[in-house]
Chains A and B, each alone.
Chain A
Amino acid sequence: MAPSGLKAVVGEKILNGVIKSVKKDGEWKVLIVDHMGMRILSSCCKMSDILAMGVTIVEDINKRRERICSLEAIYLIAPVQKSVRALINDFKDVGFTYKAAHIFFTEPCPDGLFTEIGRSRVAKVAKTLKEINIAFLPCESQVFSLDDPTSLYSFYSSKPNEEKDKMIENLAEQIATVCDTLKEYPAVRYRKGPEENARLADEVYRRLTAHKADNPSMGEGPDKARTQLLIVDRGFDPISPILHELTFQAMAYDLLDIKQDIYMYQTTGIGDSKEREVLLNEDDDLWVQLRHMHIADVTKKVTELLRTFCESKRMCTDNANIKDLSQMLKKMPQYQKDLSMYSTHLHLAEACMKKFKASLDKLCEVEQDLVIGATPDGEPLKDAMKSIVPVLLNNELEPYDKIRIILLYIFHKKKGITEENLAKLIQHANIQADSNIITNLENLGCNIIAGGSNAGKTLPERKERTGSTYDLSRWTPIIKDVMENVIDDKLDKRQWPFISDPAPINTTQTAVSARFGHWHKNKSPPEYRTGPRLIIFVIGGVAHSEMRSAYEVTQATDGKWEVLIGSSHILTPTSFLNDLKSLDQVPNPDC
C-alpha cells in the first residue's frame, strides 16, 4: 500500500517536481544534498526511486567530492551560507566539478546569498534554479518535523538568547512551507499564555500571507476555509511526553534504543545468525497496522497474521513462530520479504515485553493512577505519596524512571509542591545529579514549586472518556481534547485566539449531487483532498501518544477532517528529560 498524506505529497513533489523534471534519457545525474536536503529526501524517497529517475549517486555537499565532469549535478539544499559557498566552490576553479548545475532550494533564498551566486561562475552553468518550498521532514502521513532538536533550548533556556527572533522567523518560514506544500491557507490560532506562542503565530501568519501572494491557489477548495493551524507550547501538556505508554510505537521508542527509526536485532535467516537493521517507517505495511496498537494486542495479531500467511502458502509448520523461520525460508525463499517483516515485528514486540516485565509493570500502575487521579475501579486516589515511595526507594529502577514518577506526582498535586517536599523526594530517590530536570520544567510554564513563578497555572480540565481501555492505558493526551473541540467548533476563542478574523464558518451543508460532480475524485493528486485540515504545531517537541491522537481523531471523523501534527522534533521520554536537563546550561561550543 503506497503511503498517503504528507509523505506522498512531498515524495511526489521531489520525485517529479525536482528529479524527474530534469531527467534526460540515457543520461545519469549526480544528486548533491546538504543536511536538510538529505533528511527531506531520505524521509520520503528510496534509492531505487531516484535511480529510476536517473540519479546514480547521492553526495554530501560538505564533504570533499571527486570531479565527475561527464555528469550534471542536481543540488537540493537549504539557502544558507555554508551550502551556497560549497555550491559556488564546485564551479570556482577552471575545472568544473560537474558538467552543469540544477539548483533547488528548500526555501526562498535571501537576497545576499542570491547575489553571491549571481556573481559567481555558477550562474553560467546553472540550467535550473527553483525554490521548492519544502523545509520540513514528512515523518509520517500525518506527522511532520522541522528537524531541530535544539528547539526546546532555544525557546525555554534560562540563558538569554540573542538569536531568538531570527530563530522564530526561520521556524515560521518552515511552518509556512508545510501549509504551502499542502496548498492550505489556514486560520492561525495560538494558545493564550506564553508570549512565544503569540509571537510565533504572528510570524507564521506573515509568512503565510507572503506565500499566498506567490501562490494564490493556497486555501482554495470546498471547505478549505475551515482549515486551522494551532500553535501550542510543550508546557501545555507536560505529562504525555513523560508517561510510560503501552502502544507499540511509543513503547518501542521509549524502552529500546531506536535511533533514526532504525531497529537492530539478531536473527537467523537463510545463512547464519546475523545482526539485522530494519527501518521502521510507513513502507512497512505491517508497522502501519501495528504501531498504534496496544502491546498486548500486537503479539497476538502478528502471530495470527503469520499463521494465516503460512497456511495460505502451504508452509507446513505446527507453530508459526519465528524460530522456524529459516526452515520456511529454505522451503519458500520467494516469501523472504514477508517473512522478515513478521520476524522483525515479533522480535520488536518481544523486546518491549521483556523490558516491561523486568521492572515496569508496577510502575505503570502507579503512573496511571496519578495521572487519572483514580484507580481503575474509579476510586479517587487518596494517598499519592504512599504509592510513589516504594517506587522511589526501588534501586533497580533507572534514575530517569524515578524522575518521571516524581514529576507525575507533582502534576497530580496541581498546585505544585513545597521545596522541602521536593528535596525529600529527591533524597529518597537518590537523584540529586538530575534534580535540575524537575526545576527546569518551570521554564516551560509548569507549576512545580508551590507559590513559585507559575503559581496559578493549572493543567486544563479534561473530557470524560469512557469505553473499554486497558487499565494501564487510561491516559489520553490533552491535545486530543483540543483536536476534538476544534473539529466540533467548540474551542474557546478566548483561550485560543485567532491571529486574524477567520472566514465565517459555513455550518449549512451545501447540497452535493450523488451522481454528478465526482468525476475528479479518483484522479486527484495527493494534496488535493476535499475537506478541512487541522494542523497543530507544538513548540518544543511532540510525543508519540500525541501523534497517535492525530490519527485516532482523523479516523473518528470518518475522513471529513484530516489532523496533522508536528514539531521541531519528535520526543522520547529520555530525550525530553535530556533536553530539560540542559535548559539551565550553556551549550557546548564543540557540537
Chain B
Amino acid sequence: MRDRLSHLQEMSNGHVEPMEDAESTVSDTFSNVDLEEELPHEAVVFDDNSPALEEVFSQSQDIHREIQLIRLEVKRLREQNSRMLQGTTTMSTIKRDSNAIGADIKKRAEDVLARLHDMDGTSHKLEETHGSNSAVTRIARTQYACLSNGFRDAMFDYNEAEMSHRENCKAQIQRQMEIVGREVTGEEVEEMIEKGQWNIFNDNIVSEGKTARSALSQIEKRHQELVDLEARISGIHEIFLDIAMLVEEQGPMLTSIQSNVQKTDEGIQDALVKLGRAKRHDNNNPFKKMFCSCFPCFNS
C-alpha cells in the first residue's frame, strides 16, 4: 500500500484558496449537468435523522452486548462440563452448575429475541417515516440482520457445547460399564437414555469392591447430567425454532454486500438513464433543429 496523504496535503496547501470557488462553479456548468438538469435539486438534508440514528446504534449496542454475554456463558458452560467429566470438583464447591448456566442462557436468549423483535419494529417504523431507501432505514436493517446472524451463531455454539458434552458423557458411561463387567454399545446407551431404563445395572454386574462402586457412582452422575442436559435442550427448543424462522425469513443473501448496495435508489438510476436517452433523442429531433434556426428564442 502506498500512503499519499502527505502528497495531497502538500498539494492542498500550495494551492491558492480564492481560485477554488471560481473553478468549481465553472466546472459545475460542465460536469454534473445531467444530474442537476434531470431532477430538481432537492435539499436531501435529513437533519432530524441524527436522533433516530442514535437510537438505532444504542439498540444494536445493547443487543450486541447481550450476545457477547451469552457467548461468555457458553464458555463457562464448557468449562463446567469438562470439570464434571474429570470429576475434579465435588458438587458442593461448584458455584454455578450447568443447570443454572443453562437457565441463564435461556433467559438472556429470550431477552435478545424480544429486543430483536423491537428492533425489527423500529426498522419498520423508520421505513414508513423515511422510506425504505433512506440511510437510517438501511442502517437499521443491516444492524438487525447482522445481529440476528450473530445471535444465531452464539446459540448454535451453545448447542454444540451441549452436544459434545453429551457425547463425552456417553463415552464415559461406556467405559465405566466395561469396568463393572457389562459392555454396552453406543446405541444401547442411547436407548437407555431415551427410555430412562437403567435397571440393567441389576444383572450380570460386579457390584462388589471399591472400583466397581466408584464406577457405578460415576455412571449415576453421568446419567443425571444427561437427564439434565436433555431437559435444558428441550426447554430451549422453542427459542431455536424462533431463531430459525427469523433467519429463514431474511434469507441467506442478506450478508452479501453486493445485494446490500444495489437495492438502493435503483428506480432513480433507471429513470435517469431513460431521461438521458430521451434527451439525446429529443436533441436530435429534426423539427426542433429546423425551428430553432427560424425562430430565435424569445427572452423575457
Contacts and interface: CB of A to CB of B under 8 A. Distances in A.
Contacts of B156: 334, 337
Which residue, of B243, B255, B257, has the highest number of chain A Cβ atoms within 10 A?
Answer: B257
30 contacts: A33-B261, A41-B257, A46-B255, A47-B146, A48-B146, A48-B149, A51-B142, A56-B57, A57-B135, A92-B24, A115-B11, A118-B7, A119-B12, A123-B11, A126-B5, A129-B8, A130-B4, A131-B1, A131-B2, A131-B4, A262-B253, A271-B245, A276-B252, A279-B252, A332-B240, A334-B156, A336-B244, A336-B247, A337-B156, A590-B277
For chain B, the bracket of interface size reads: 35 or more
Contacts of B257: 38, 41-42, 45-47, 50, 58
Q: List the 9 closest A-B pairs by CB distance, nearest first.
A: A118-B11, A123-B12, A333-B244, A42-B258, A333-B240, A42-B257, A131-B2, A334-B159, A46-B255
Contacts of B20: 119-121
A333 B241 contact: yes
For chain A, the bracket of interface size reads: 35 or more
B114 interface: no
A456 interface: no
A67 B44 contact: yes
Contacts, number: 170
B135 A330 contact: no
Contacts of A64: 35, 44, 265, 268
Contact of A117 (B3, B8, B190, B262): B8
A541 B156 CA distance: 42
Given A47-B145, A334-B156, A114 B258 contact: no
B189 interface: no
B260 A58 contact: yes
Given A47-B142, A68-B135, A92-B24, A60 B261 contact: yes
A340 to B, nearest CB: 8
B240 A48 contact: no
Contacts of B1: 17, 130-133
A271 B248 contact: yes
Contacts of B32: 85, 89
A260 B8 CA distance: 37
Nearest to A262: B253
B45 interface: yes
A270 B241 CA distance: 9
Which residue, of A48, A62, A269, has the highest number of chain B Cβ atoms within 10 A?
Answer: A48
A118 B5 CA distance: 10
Contact of A336 (B3, B134, B248, B251): B248
Which residue, of A42, A51, A124, A133, has the highest number of chain B Cβ atoms within 10 A?
Answer: A51
A329 interface: yes
A66 interface: yes
A279 B253 contact: yes
B254 interface: yes
Contacts of B95: none
B86 interface: no
Interface in B20-57: 20, 23-24, 31-32, 35, 44-46, 49-50, 53, 57
